[in-house]
Amino acid sequence: MDALFPIAPPSPASVLQAANRLKGLVHRTPILRSTAADEKYSAQFFFKCENLQRTGSFKFRGAFNTLAQLSDAQRERGVITFSAGNHAQALALAARLLDMPALVLMPETAPSSKMAATREYGAQVLTYDPMTEDRQAICQRLALERGMTLVPPSEHPEVIAGQGTAALELLEDVPCLDILLVPVGGGGLIAGSLLAVQAANSNCRVVGVEPEHANDAQQSLRTGQIVQIPLPRSTIADGAQAQALGPLAFGLIRKHVEDIVTTSDASMVQAMRFFAERMKQVVEPTGALAFAAANAAGLDLHGARVGVLISGGNVDLPRYARFLAD
């Protein structure tokens, strides 16, 4: 098996290289404006719509950037990951486009629609019992047995570099942003975004947003070391339920982030409804996290040019309907 976590850290240059590698393969997603949002907060908002990215989230960027760099031998044996969410679909599609086998380990409790979508993109799905089995251990054993390369959802230099290309596109199109709001789960998206700001030579301040009940990254930033929080936590933001940052992401966050703020499930629902009603965008709870923080304590957006990463739009329709009807 190849090294799980290669040593070379991601850099601003690796985000620029990722952008070249991904050209024509990812959608350059639109940046939407909203007069209603601008007036409500006396700011100028620029919404980067990664809900419209291939597979419905920015995760395709990191997955493709990583898989595209594997050796022929690695490609032949394929890739493996653990994910119940957007990384699974992203990895599955990237593997199919690059013609390599993909295996995704999902909890047997995962929504059948997510398993079906991952299978439709061409991956093999194996399930495990999250109450009794350790997904990382199973994944490592399978990787070893089958010679597959493990591609984690965030803590990997080329995944981080790929995720950074969304912010890079935003900064190219809107050069003088003051603040960029980014949702934080495992920390890959914000780590890449911090590098993108450097790559673009921008003075934009990057603020991370977490659900208030899954604020491990905020605690880590405050205490100066990686804080692990227990499962299960209750938040509707299923894409931001990581228990802890990895060291690569934490190193970048600690050095470069302006702050990490939190927001409530109620604010996320409000943001989802705003996106649906005013901007005609289907956004999943975690995708609405960044904009939901516009009201957060300690965040002053008055008069600022604010980038918002709408990170994804994958939500089961019955669940989505319940959020809108609330």
Tell whether omega for the bond before 232 is within 30 degrees of 0, i.e. cis. Answer: yes
Q: Rounded to an integer, what distance in angstroms lies between the CA atom of residue 264 and that of residue 153?
A: 24
Nearest to ligand PLP of 184, 199 (CB atom): 184
Q: At 163, which helix (H) or strand (E)?
A: helix 157-173
Alpha carbon of residue 150 to chain centroid: 18
Tokens coding 258: 């302006």
Tell whether omega for the bond before 230 is within 30 degrees of 0, i.e. cis. Answer: no
Nearest to ligand PLP of 190, 244 (CB atom): 190
Nearest to ligand PLP of 77, 90 (CB atom): 90
Nearest to ligand PLP of 53, 149 (CB atom): 53
**Catalytic residue from among 59, 83, 114, 220:** 59
Q: Which residues bind ligand PLP (CB under 6 A)?
A: 57, 59, 85-86, 153-154, 163, 183-190, 239-240, 242, 284, 286-287, 311-312
18 phi and psi, to 5 degrees? -60, -40
CB 70 within 8 A of CB 101: no
What minimum distance in Å lies between the beta carbon of 183 and ligand PLP? 4
Nearest to 165 by CA among 54, 26, 306: 26
Nearest to 276 by CA among 211, 326, 320, 210: 320
Tokens coding 101: 């086998």
What minimum distance in Å lies between the beta carbon of 218 and ligand PLP? 13
Q: Rounded to an integer, what distance in angstroms lies between the CA atom of residue 188 and that of residue 132?
A: 28
Residue 153 DSSP code: S
User: Which residue, judged by CB position, is nearest to ligand PLP in the bound state?
Assistant: 312
Query: HSE (CB half, 13 Å, CA atoms) of 281?
Result: 29
Nearest to ligand PLP of 103, 190 (CB atom): 190
Tokens coding 171: 């900064």
Helices (H) and strands (E) counted in the chain, each on its own, are 14, 10
Tokens coding 150: 């493990």
- Please indicate whether residue 59 is annotated as part of the active site: yes
Nearest to ligand PLP of 248, 306 (CB atom): 248
What minimum distance in Å lies between the beta carbon of 120 and ligand PLP? 18
> Which residues are part of the catalytic machinery?
59, 311
